[in-house]
Amino acid sequence: MQSFDLDKTDVSKIKLALSGDDQQLQFILEEYHASEIAILFESITPEDRQRIINLLEVEIASEVISEMHEESHPEELLLQLHPDKRTEIVEELDYDDATDIISQLDEQEQQEILEDLNEDDALNIRNLMSYDEKTAGGLMNTEFIRINLNLTKKDAIDEIIRQSEEIEEFYTIFVIDDQNVFQGIVSLKDIIKAKGNVQITELVKAEVAWVYPDTDQEEVARLISQYNITSIPVLDIDMKLLGRVTFDDVIDVLEDENTEDILKISGVSEDEELSGNWVEAVKSRLPWLVLNLGTAFLASAVIRHFDPTIKLFPLLSAYMVIIAGMGGNAATQALAVTVRRISLNDLTDNQAYRTVLKEFTVGAINGAVTGLIVFIFAYFFDSSLMLGVVIFLSMTGNLLIAGITGSGIPLVLKRIGIDPAIASSIIITTFTDVFGFLLLLGLASKLLL
């Protein structure tokens, strides 16, 4: 399989060609796939992007724009183009891709583009723009193959050929009745293999997954993954066929959702662009750091409370760092696994209970093992058996708490309707710090004094 990765040599080659004439640049661009040119656009000026798009054939230019990352702002590139070139490119785009790009513009700019399109294209895009972008309606493409269940094999093949002239790719053939009510799907293979006089009604597969236009995009992705299908139909409340969501759109959804969860767990807002400047990064992250600072004061209050104990046993301050750090790491591990399980599937009460029980067990074992290691260290290097006991009990207890909070808190947040990836990290850090210090300093004050 040919790779479409753009290396530094390729980038340098194209950038060098940008300094030459259009004919030479156009010749160089023919060597590269549309997705490679889209990657190149991340590292060149808007003026150079516009120049390249104007040199490309409309079909390739539309592919490049559809492949551009959202952070490269393909909508701004469209606005820079001559209206005629822009219209040709938009009409070449799939409706879902055109909708995603145009919806990023303000209302006046959207109208400017849509008014130049033919009536059917503009109507389809306007309809798709009415749906939330993170739903099945926002993902779906209204271009698909549909046939009537009463057609014979021959008539069905003729109809598929006719409709496929307007559709670049199709994976599934949808079957409807005379009222456009969805009846199921049929594969092209089954139609071709069937006898000449067979009707589609005898071949249709009625038991298939489908979604409403307001179904969340994560649920759409989960269904396509669960049933291993290439596309899923989108139906209205009357079971009439509105469109389809294909697996390539779901790949983008999964990537976006995973990125969003990683950013949230790290205490970074999903609104921060990965390639954004430092101002955006500060605005995104500072509120979470301030909130985290507030929870840190709580842990600090525990330390202040046991100040006399620390003065008598200064060595405790060295082990505080170990106890808190290990607890935080263990809680983050449990949190990552639990949030991932939640994102893949809604957990039943029994599954949630088993998840917490598993992390409780893991925390107990890991706490005992790491606690024993630190116990041995304290006994031999600090010559204190009781200090080793205190540290062993503190480590075991804090990793137990880490397992319970790391798995339990996201489940509770999910149950009460809060995204578990947003607040879980800060809450569990507070728990492991506060309880880690309480266990270590509290036990020390009882057993060492």
Query: At which residue do the structure tokens 């590269």 appear?
Result: 32
Confidence band (pLDDT; 50, 70, 90) for 238? very high
pTM, to two decimals: 0.61
Q: What confidence score (pLDDT) does residue 397 get?
A: 93
For the chain, what is the mean pLDDT? 85
Q: What confidence score (pLDDT) does residue 1 get?
A: 33
Distance of alpha carbon 343 from alpha carbon 369, whole angstroms: 31
* Count of other CB atoms within 10 angstroms of residue 260: 16
* CB environment 22-55: b (16+ within 10 A), e (fewer): eeebeebbeebbbbbbbbbbeeeeeebbbebbeb
Q: What confidence score (pLDDT) does residue 35 get?
A: 86
> In Å, how far are 94, 220, 331, 382, 391 from 377, measured between CA atoms?
64, 52, 24, 8, 10
Q: Three-state DSSP class for 152? A: strand
Torsion angle, alpha carbons of 424, 425, 427, 432, to 10: 130
Domains of the chain: 8-130 (1.25.60.10), 145-246 (3.10.580.10), 278-447 (1.10.357.20)
Q: Higher-confidence residue: 381 or 238?
A: 238
What is the DSSP-derived secondary structure letter of residue 199?
Answer: B
User: What would the pLDDT profile of 334-368 be if each residue is shown by its tens digit?
Assistant: 888 887 777 666 677 788 888 899 999 999 999 99
User: What would the pLDDT profile of 21-55 be if each residue is shown by its tens digit?
Assistant: 888 888 888 888 888 888 888 888 888 889 999 99
Distance of alpha carbon 231 from alpha carbon 128, whole angstroms: 17
